[in-house]
Structures are given as structure tokens and as C-alpha cells.
Amino acid sequence: MGRVAARAGAALRQWRHPREFRIEPSAWSADALAALARAAVAEPAATSAPAPGGGFPEDELADVATCVWRLRARVARMDDPPRAVVHHVETAWDALADGGVEIKDHAGEPFDPGLAMSVAAYQPTPGLVREQVIETVRPGVYLGSRSIQLAEVIVGTPGTPAEAMRETRTR
């Protein structure tokens, strides 16, 4: 009797609304709906459990982290960013950090060829005494202690472009 009363109540609730906003009754038969309900009760873990590796593919996680890093850098360069934008960017950054994701910007760090990063270019830069990362093209992204994206950087080398050209000609 409860099922009949529920259907009657649902039908009456639909009549309160204009015709174009009414939801049509299900075209599925009662047997099909009952079988679907039994299947949902029998295997709830199959549909609601996260994937074994944490639920989010690592390459997509690295893309999201890179986008948040770029957005955070862009907001930092703005003269007077809207507070709501700053709040949302920082919230996204904190959510990634809470999930164990570390986004590493290597700009300003000394460069060592043994570091796990991809060098996009070497650029002669006056005023440097040793090789140094002068720009990060793409940050390094780590999930826990594991790297899921190598940083891509531009490395400044000591000397001026003229000195570099003389070195190239003498080789």
C-alpha cells in the first residue's frame, strides 16, 4: 500500500506545476525498476568506490596542478586582484596540498645537471656566477614522495651572449 500512496503523492505534486515543467512518469516497467534497485543494493562498492590508485589519473592531476600554479602566478602579477579570485585560487592550492600534491617552482634555485627536471633552454645571463634556473616553464608536481611531472625550466648560464658566441666560434 505504501508504494501506491507514494505514486499518488508524486502525481499530485506534479499537478502543482505548469504542464511544461512536469516530469513524466518513468517509461520503465516496475519489474525493470525493481531489478535495477536490487542490482544497486547488491553491488554498491562497484559504483561508489574510488579507483585503487587514489581515484584521479596522475597525468590529469599534474595538468590540474600546473593550471593552478599558472593561475596563482598570474594573480600574483596583478596589481589589484579581486579578493574572490585570490580566495578561490588559494583554496584550490590548499586542496591540492591537502591531497598530498606538492607543486615545486624551481625559479631562482641553483641548477645541477643531476636534478630531475627537463631543461627547455640554456640562456646566457649576465651577472650569474654559476648555472641557475631563471624561469620555470612547467612546475614539478609530486604526489607524496613520487614525481608525477618533471619540471621544465630555462637555465641561465654565466656570461654574456657575446662571450657565448666567441666560445661557439672557437670550438
Query: Minimal CA–CA distance to 104: which of 35, 52, 152?
Result: 152
CATH architecture assigned to 58-170: Roll (2.30)
Please give the average per-residue pLDDT across 78-83, as a whole number.
Answer: 91
Check: CB of residue 148 under 8 Å from CB of residue 61.
yes
pLDDT at position 1: 60
Q: For the segment 22-78, what is each residue's pLDDT rounded down to a tens digit?
A: 777 666 677 777 777 777 777 655 444 444 555 678 889 999 999 999 999 999 999
The residues spanned by each domain of the chain are 2-48, 58-170
- pTM summary value: 0.60
φ/ψ of residue 89, rounded to 5 = -65, -45
